[in-house]
Amino acid sequence: MRLFLASIVSILLFIGIVPILAMLIKAFMPDDTIPSLFGSMQTWMLMRHSVILASLVTVSTFLLGIPLGIFLGKTDLPFRRFFIFLFLIPLLVPPYIIAVAWSDLFQMSGLPLHWLSGLPGSLFILVSVYLPLPMLLTMIFLHTVHPHLEEAGRLVATWPLTLWRVTLPLIRPALLLAALLVFLLALGEFSVPMYLRYNVYAVESFTQFSAFYNFEAATAAAIPLVLFAALLTVAENRYLRNRIAIPRHFAQKNEFLRITLGRNRWSVLTGMACLAAIFVAMPIGSLLLQAGGIDSYLRALHVAGDALLRSFFYAFVGASVLTFFGFFTGYLFLKKPFYAARTIDPLLLFLFTLPGTVIGIALITFWNTPSTNIVYATTLIVLFGYLAKYTALTARISLATLAMVPPSMEEAAQMTGAGWFQRMIHIVIPLTRHGILGAWVVASLFILRDISITILLYPPGHDTLPVRIFTLMANGSPQLIASLCIVMIAAVVVPAAVAWGWFHYWGTKR
């Protein structure tokens, strides 16, 4: 077991961490790149912009996401699942598609485009994209609050006061995690601010990379983002992880306390419908209007059908590999058979929070040698990128699922002489199969929407649909781009809806 799990960790470290370390060492080698970069006022101005944007996005998603999570996860609001799924859509598609959609909407309605550009536009789009994170985490962690505590609160106080004084303080670590994730993702996001003309620090690294052709400076420019990610990962590991990675209690449907909205349900429903219209229906509606009739979609499929199929194929293979690695990493972290196992979870989270382009640049500089063509000249390099970036997701989901399996089950099998592989195959995997499937679905959706890793690493002629759209955006007809965006949204949303339906069916059946 130890050898097998150690191999898994070693592979992950070799694929993800070693290239980053090699890149950082290389960045510190040259003479004056770092001093000249950080001595510039421009650098600090961009950093200020980034921190302002990331902070505003974090605060806004926090203020909107938590009430949304409570209404959708804790009350008897009608059509809850429908709304949850609607709000999830912007997170499932590449963020620039939402920006394109809003830009189309402004153009069609004759509104001045400069209203959408700069900080306000970037803030609005990123809030709509990352809003589901605090919403979902709130909803999930509301189930970890023991109902007895809320019942005790309800004896002396109203629901709002109970939520404020009992429930929310108990899930504070999860809310802080959501804030942390949103902050880091917004800090590393470049496509939306770039599209909407707001200069942020994440763009600096790309400018150094694409405009100045300066690899050392590009790497140096990535260092603050790496440091931010490292710092916040350490904080998460130190203060939050133990309280949220393995929930001590998860309320089942029959014991979970739900708030009755009563007469307020219709006004809440109206508010929810308005929010859904603003964040989801309007941008998608504008894309649908811009795309036109069925002919546009047929043309879009003709232009990018191969890229769509490739996206599904990459998602299938990538998600399978990620689930495999994530499952055993989660197991390793739960059981901690050796000390080094403690470090793997924060390292994976660190990689997840790093901008994809930083990982991409690191992988190119590390693997691009004649002796490693077997990786670099094939799609394996893309798979390595996905592994480095997204294993944290499958590992965390697996960890949470594995924690639900009573250790006594494995111990009983061990007592009867079953070896580790036998215990895994006959006990642990069957008991956690739904969690494994969930991890697979999440991984495949993230790979389907990925652009930052794929666009840097795809072998010639093997692009995916998000990359195809991105490369066609320069001078492509707006109608074609809109129909491709709709195809992209459908490619992510339809499988997500099927998975959602299946999990709901399974949950009800159970």
Partner 1 sequence: MKTRDLIIGIVILVVALLLFWKSGQEMTEKRPVVVVYVSEDRVFSEPILKDFEKETGITVKAVYDTEEAKSTGVMNRLIAEKSNPQADVYWANEPIRAEILKQKGVSAPYLSPNAKEIPKIFKDPDGFWTGFSARARVLIVNSGINERPESILAYTETRWRGKSVIANPLFGTTTAHIAALFTYWGDDRADAFMRAMKRNGVALSTSNGESADFVAAGRYAFSLVDSDDAVNRIRQGRPVTMVYPDQKPDEPGCFIVPNAVLLIKGAPHPKEARRLVDYLLSKETEHKLAFADCAQIPLHPDVEIPEELQPIDTIRIMQVDYAKVAAKLLEIQPYLKRWVSE
Output 169 or 430, the one with its CB closest to partner 1. 430
What does 23-61 look like in DSSP terms, one character per residue?
A: HHHHHHSSSSHHHHHHT-HHHHHHHHHHHHHHHHHHHHH
**Which two structure tokens, joined as six digits, stand for 350?**
């660190």
- Residues 456-475 touching partner 1, rule: CB under 8 A, are 456, 458-463, 470-475
Site string for partner 1, 133-172 (x = CB under 8 A): ----------------------------------------
**Which two structure tokens, joined as six digits, stand for 263?**
């007469």
User: Closest Cα partner for 504 from 174, 88, 80, 178?
Assistant: 80
Number of helices (H), then strands (E), belonging to the chain: the values are: 30, 0
- Residues 76-115 touching partner 1, rule: CB under 8 A, are 96
Query: Minimum CB separation from partner 1 for residue 124, in Å?
Result: 18
Question: Strand pairing partners for 259?
Answer: 75
Asked if residue 290 binds partner 1 (CB under 8 A), the reply is no
Output 143 or 468, the one with its CB closest to partner 1. 468
Asked if residue 209 binds partner 1 (CB under 8 A), the reply is yes
Helix (H) or strand (E) holding 385: helix 380-402
User: Closest Cα partner for 116 from 102, 132, 131?
Assistant: 102
- Residues 316-355 touching partner 1, rule: CB under 8 A, are 316-317, 320-321, 324
Output 83 or 328, the one with its CB closest to partner 1. 328
**Which two structure tokens, joined as six digits, stand for 247?**
């929930």
Q: Which amino acid is residue 337, in one-letter code?
A: P
Q: What is the DSSP letter of 458?
A: P
Q: Binder to partner 1 among 271, 305, 476, 478 (CB under 8 A)? A: 476
Output 114 or 249, the one with its CB closest to partner 1. 114
Q: Binder to partner 1 among 42, 158, 242, 267 (CB under 8 A)? A: 42
**Could you tell me which stretch among 58-66, 199-207, 333-341, 486-494 binds partner 1 (CB under 8 A)?**
199-207
Q: Binder to partner 1 among 22, 29, 368, 502 (CB under 8 A)? A: 368
Residue with tokens 């009350």: 75
Within 131-214, where are the H helices? 132-142, 147-156, 159-162, 168-170, 172-188, 191-195, 201-210
- Residues 414-453 touching partner 1, rule: CB under 8 A, are 425-426, 429-430, 433, 452
- Integer Cα distance of 361 and 10 in angstroms: 21
Query: Minimum CB separation from partner 1 for residue 492, in Å?
Result: 20
Which residues of the chain form contacts with partner 1 (CB under 8 A)? 42, 45, 96, 190-191, 194-195, 197, 199, 206-207, 209-213, 215, 313-314, 316-317, 320-321, 324, 357, 364-365, 368-370, 373, 376-380, 382-383, 425-426, 429-430, 433, 452, 455-456, 458-463, 470-477
